[in-house]
Every structure is written in C-alpha cells, then in structure tokens.
Amino acid sequence: MTSPENGILLTVVTHEDVHLAIVKLRDGWSNAYQKKAAVLRLSRADLEKLALKDGAKVEISTPAGSVVVTARSDATGEAGVGLMPSSLYTNLLASYDPGSPLLPGKHIEARVIPIEKGITPASDLMVRRNRA
Amino acid sequence: MSPRTLVCTGCGCLCDDVQVEINGTHLGQIENACAKGAAYLQAAFNPELRAKSSIRGQGCSPEAAIHEAARFLSKAKRRLIFGLDNSTLETQALAIDLARKLGAVIDDASSFSYGPLIERILKKDLPTCSLSEVRDKADLLLYWGANPTATHPRHLSKYTYYAYAEFNPAGWYPKVTLSSIEVRQTELTTMSMPAFRIKLRGDRELISGLLGESPAASDQAKQFSELVKKSHFCAMFCGLGLVHSLGGDFSAFTRMVQLLSQSIRVAVIPMIAETNMLGFTQSLHQQTSYVNSASFASSVSHGHQFSFLEQVHNHAADCILIVGSDPFSTLPQSLLGKLQGIDIICLDHFTTLTTDTADIVIPSAVPGVECRGSVVRLDGDSIMLAEPIKNGYPTQEAILRQLLEKVQP
C-alpha cells in the first residue's frame, strides 16, 4: 500500500491549449499564463491515492527537474495518466532523448507528490543565456 | 476606417475571409477570426509586443543589426539556419540559397514533428487532397490524435464538419460522420460519433487490428475497421498525438491506408499548426530530395545529425540563424542549456523568449499582415497572402536578401 506522501508514478500527456495560446499572445508570460499552464489534471482515482482535493498543490518530478502546480480533478481522466498543456512547465520536465527523432515532452514519466508550496513562478522557468 | 480582407497567419488554417478595420497603424474591429486569430492580429498591432532590433541586448537600427548578423555569419565556421515554418515561400527560398552559399545546415520543426508524415505524402506513398475536396464529398471525417478546437479553431467550421452544405433530414447534423481517435476526452471527442478513446500509445494496436496483423484484434479495432470500410471517402486528419504515439514511424500506418485505398478513397492531411511548414518541406525536397535536416557543407547531405535538436545537443553549430521561430519557449530546458556560447541571430516579428536572449535581433514584418507572399496550406493548396498594410518593418525576404548579398562564405 503506498502512502500519499510517497506520491504516485504517472505519465504526463501534454497537449495544446487554445486558451493558453491566447493568453500568451495577449499578455506574454504573465500571471494569467502561469494560472493556465501550471495545472495537472488527474483522474479521481489518482487524486484519491494522493489524498488530495481538487485545487491542492502537487510537485511533479522527473530526472530533468521538478515544478509545483495545481492538481485538478478530471472526471474523464484515466488512472496513471495526467494531462498538462504544453508550456514552460512541461519544458522543464522533459528530457532530450538523442535516439528519438521527435520533440521530447509529449509523454513524460513523472512522480507526483502532494506538497504545501506555492506554484513555481513561470519567470523561474525561463532559460537565461549568457550572450556570447 | 477602411475594412480589409486578410489571410490570417495565426495558425495553419490560413483563413482567407478575416476582415479588419485599419486606421493608420491602429487595428479596429476584426470579423470572422477565431479568438486565437484575433489575439494574433491584435498582437501584430501592439508595438509593445513587437521585436526590436538589438545587438547583444543594446538597441540599434535594423540596418546595423543586419550588418552585424552578416558579420557573425561570415566569421562562423559551422552555421545552422532554423525555423522558417511561418515564413513565405519566397523567404524560405532565400534561406535555402543562404544555406547553400554558407555551406550551412538548414532545418525546420518538421524534423521533430510532422516530417515523417509529410515525407510520405510528398513521395506519394500516402494519398492526400485539398480541403475543398473534403467538404461535401468525404463521408467520414476522422481526426486522429488531433484536437482542432485547440490548434485550428476554425478547421471544423470553415473546412470540414460545419462547412458541409447538406444536412440530415431533420436538419440538425451535417450529412457526414465525424469521428475521432484520442487518448483523452476533448471538445472534439464529445462531438464525435463514434469517438474511439484508446489507451496511451494504443494507435499501433488499432492499426494492426485493421491490417489483420493482430489475431486477437480488440473490439475497438473491429469497430474502427467497420466504420472506415463502410465509408466511401475518408479524410484522415492526423495530429501530433498520432505522430508521437507511432514514434514518427508511419510504415504500418501507410500500409493501413494503402490497404483501405483498395476499396475506398482515403486522404491524409497533417494537422500542421505552423502556417507554411508544408511549403518549407516541399521547397527543400524539390532542391535536395530531403524534407528537412539538410547540410550544404560539401555536397548536399542529410541525416538525423543535421536535425536542429541534434545540432543543439551536440554543440554542432557555432552560429545559429533563427527565422520566425521561438525554440526557447518550446524546447526542453535541458537542451537549451547547450546553447551557451553560441552566437544566435533571430529574425522575428514578435518579442519572444528567443529574441530576449539572442545576440542579434532583427525585427520583421508579419507575413499576411505587413507583407505579401505565398504559402502552402496544410492540405497542399497554395495561398497568396493579401495586399500588405505598411507598418515600416522590413520583410524577412528583404532581410535575407541583404544577408545573402553581404555574407562571405
């Protein structure tokens, strides 16, 4: 029996979100962007396993990094599969696989644990490069 | 205010009936555009969201930025040109010329998305057709791993389901079957009858079932097979969900379409989000026989090592020219870390994370709004972009022409 603190393993499936695309065009990397992007939709079964209510915060971790986002209940969701819009959040979680010809980040294997922390600010996810 | 009709370049739909009111450089009312297209057009007329010319973060004139970009490209030893999926055919042709002159690698986002599917369509291994052929003629619209309500908001209303002129006797539904194959519930799957909700990466199993290669085909595979076989003309709209599920390997999918084509008409149309990815891949294919990831270092060569992702991963380039693309907001962070120490030149009309970090930024006109040209829509139809609205930005075509003249290989 897994305890909620240990979290669960799941596959995060990323997808396009028209509302997020519009917010990005209108307001850039604003709070509105963060609010729409930092959301993980979980099945009711997975929310129960994590002993979480809709709107609680979770930390999603992969070998590439971790982010804190809001967990939302998805009545149509499948256990073991989480849904997230493609965004700076999923860019951080994705790892490059030189063997694959495709852009990484469509299916991300991750651990999700309940956490009492604030959402990772979108501004923390922007890669700053030292100009040559 | 004078109303103008534009081709919206906000997504791959390229809606040609968008009307805007322009007063000088101010955008008034917009009609017929979807919310995404309207946001795109509004951004085009918002000076705060437009890219500004700069050299290493310091503001400069566009001419100075172009001059410096030519110097960077000339002194570099291993140049890479990337992007171009939202550029006109004319710009793409110049970029290929520039790559040839510089002995550079050239690639676009198709190398890590729709490339394998596009290549099979261009080589005629897979049948396709125009969207105008689909309307009122296809009796089965199948969206596979695609959710147009999110990516192409007017796809159904302008080109497919809602664009049908004939309705069922009660007049409630268009006379066509709308179906979808998806791993999750979306706006489209709730409209689809039937919707095939498959398990994650279950597309291959469905294809095997239809091909009869799986002795214990699932009920879903059997239902899917029956649905397709009882149609006369099936238009398959393939999205990134399918591309990723198949790992970019469309061999079984091609066999399935070829098998179906023996008894019904099948047309495959990729749900490309960019405005002219098909144009780039066609142009490069005509010149090199490759759809992407080409190197002009000696003779023309091609391979995974020349894909943008591999070039970045392997630190293969010392100067990258990015045209109308924003890899800093789409690539994994771990990969972006590999761009330290590389000269980046970015041509774009909007401020993006890539323009924020590029060494040289050259602002450009918005295709379809501020410059004309031609593009190839996702179904292969050529679209002429309308008469431009003059906002004073140089076109990508003009910038690349200057670079082509100035650079020294």
Buried b (16+ CB within 10 A) or exposed e, A71-95: bbbbeebbebbbbbbbbbbbbbbbb
Give B218's contacts (C-beta < 8 A, 6+ positions apart). Answer: B205, B206, B209
**Which residue among A64, A76, A131 sits closest to B332, beta carbon to beta carbon?**
A64
| Contact (CB, 8 A) for B328 and A127 | yes
Would you state the structure tokens that stand for residue B115, as one six-digit string? 């490339």
Give B299's contacts (C-beta < 8 A, 6+ positions apart). Answer: none
Q: Do A21 and B149 touch (CB under 8 A)?
A: no
Q: Do B304 and A101 touch (CB under 8 A)?
A: yes
Mutate which: A22, A41, A126, vs B, most B CBs within 10 A = A22
| CA B135/CA B148 separation, integer angstroms | 16
Segment A12-45, tens digit of pLDDT: 999 999 999 999 999 999 999 999 999 999 999 9
Q: What is the mean pLDDT of chain A?
A: 94
Q: Do A81 and B42 touch (CB under 8 A)?
A: no
Across B22-26, B74-78, B146-150, B196-200, least confident range: B22-26
Give B405's contacts (C-beta < 8 A, 6+ positions apart). Answer: none
Q: What is the mean pLDDT of chain B?
A: 95
pLDDT value at residue A29: 92
Q: Which residues of B touch A102 (CB under 8 A)?
A: 112-113, 243-244, 247-248
Chain centroid to CA B195: how far?
26
pLDDT value at residue A132: 57
Q: How confident is the model at residue B332 (pLDDT cuts 50, 70, 90)?
A: very high
pTM for this entry: 0.96
Name the H helices within B45-143.
62-75, 89-102, 115-122, 131-134
Statement: residue B270 has pLDDT above 70: yes
Q: Which residues of B touch A98 (CB under 8 A)?
A: 310, 313
Statement: residue B268 has pLDDT above 70: yes
B320 closest CA partner among B328, B302, B246: B328
Q: Which of the two residues, B132 and B1, has the higher pLDDT score?
A: B132
Average pLDDT over residues B349-378: 96
C-alpha distance from B339 to closest chain A C-alpha (Å): 7
Segment B19-58, tens digit of pLDDT: 999 887 789 999 999 999 999 999 999 999 999 999 999 9
pLDDT value at residue B227: 94
Statement: residue B217 has pLDDT above 80: no
B270 closest CA partner among B109, B114, B108, B113: B114
Average pLDDT over residues B320-333: 96
Q: How confident is the model at residue A2 (pLDDT cuts 50, 70, 90)?
A: low
Quote the Cα angle for B163-B164-B169, to 5°.
135
Average pLDDT over residues B72-99: 98
The residues pairing with B105 across neighbouring beta strands, listed in sequence order, are B80, B295
Statement: residue B139 has pLDDT above 60: yes
Q: Does A108 touch chain B (CB under 8 A)?
A: no
Q: How confident is the model at residue B280 (pLDDT cuts 50, 70, 90)?
A: very high
Would you state the structure tokens that stand for residue B339, as one six-digit string? 């761009």
Number of neighbours of residue B128 by Cβ within 10 angstroms: 21
Statement: residue B265 has pLDDT above 70: yes
Buried b (16+ CB within 10 A) or exposed e, B385-398: bbebbebebbbbbb
| Contact (CB, 8 A) for B116 and B243 | yes
Statement: residue B271 has pLDDT above 70: yes
Across A3-12, B284-293, B305-314, least confident range: A3-12
Give A84's contacts (C-beta < 8 A, 6+ positions apart). Answer: A12, A13, A14, A15, A37, A39, A40, A41, A69, A90
Statement: residue B1 has pLDDT above 80: no
pLDDT value at residue B403: 98
Q: Do B200 and A11 touch (CB under 8 A)?
A: yes
| CA B174/CA B167 separation, integer angstroms | 4
Q: How confident is the model at residue B313 (pLDDT cuts 50, 70, 90)?
A: very high
Segment A52-64, tens digit of pLDDT: 999 999 999 999 9
Q: Does A32 touch chain B (CB under 8 A)?
A: no
Average pLDDT over residues B58-77: 97
pLDDT over 90 for what percent of chain B? Answer: 87
Name the residue of chain A whose CA is nearest to B44's CA: A25
Q: Does A64 touch chain B (CB under 8 A)?
A: yes
Kindly provide the ipTM of the predicted complex, given to two decimals: 0.94
Q: How confident is the model at residue B390 (pLDDT cuts 50, 70, 90)?
A: confident
SS3 A15: strand
Quote the Cα angle for B189-B377-B197, to 5°.
15
pLDDT value at residue A70: 98
Segment B150-197, tens digit of pLDDT: 999 999 999 999 999 888 888 878 889 999 999 999 999 999 999 999
SS3 B99: helix
* DSSP at A108: E
